[in-house]
Amino acid sequence: MGAAVYLKDMPKDPNQPRIHAPDLDAFEAMGRAAFATIPEAMRRLLTDVVIRVEDFPDERVMQEMELRSPFDILGLYRGMPVGHKAAGSPPGEVDIIFLYRRPILDYWVETGEDLAHVIRHVLIHEIGHHFGLSDDDMERIEGVG
């Protein structure tokens, strides 16, 4: 089972100016830019984690997370957190962080929050799940960069 960022968990800031919605390529570039702001010590440990941008979660995720709408989830970590992997165990599934473009864009339009900040927030939250971090740890990381 993966860990997720839900729409209801995102902070609101309606005072931010809005820009045009990026397509998948531009959104992926924003994700790469957000990743570049993650502390270097963490980035070095993420070489085996795949970061994917998709418009929406697939049916499997919808069912597993018991989502009423594909807009209810902004990101997802699917894999085995670092502290739960046994040394010397055979490689399993690839760890993947999903950023769901359309739900993130919907959140952005609804709140007016800076889109780059939203993408970074979701990315950090999902990276935190990979490392088994607490919400407080993730908040501290968000303050770096």
| Whether the Cβ atoms of residue 95 and residue 50 lie closer than 8 Å to each other | yes
Which residue in 26, 122, 32 sits closest to 74, CA to CA?
122
For residue 52, the surrounding DSSP H or E stretch is: strand 49-54
Count other C-beta atoms under 10 Å from residue 6's C-beta.
13
Q: Which fold has domain 3-7+23-81+93-142?
A: Zincin-like (3.30.2010)
Q: What is the pLDDT of residue 114?
A: 92
What is the model's pTM?
0.76
Q: Where exactly are the structural domains of the chain?
A: 3-7+23-81+93-142
Segment-wise mean pLDDT, segments of 10 residues, the chain, 145 residues: 55 58 91 89 82 95 95 91 59 83 94 92 87 77 66
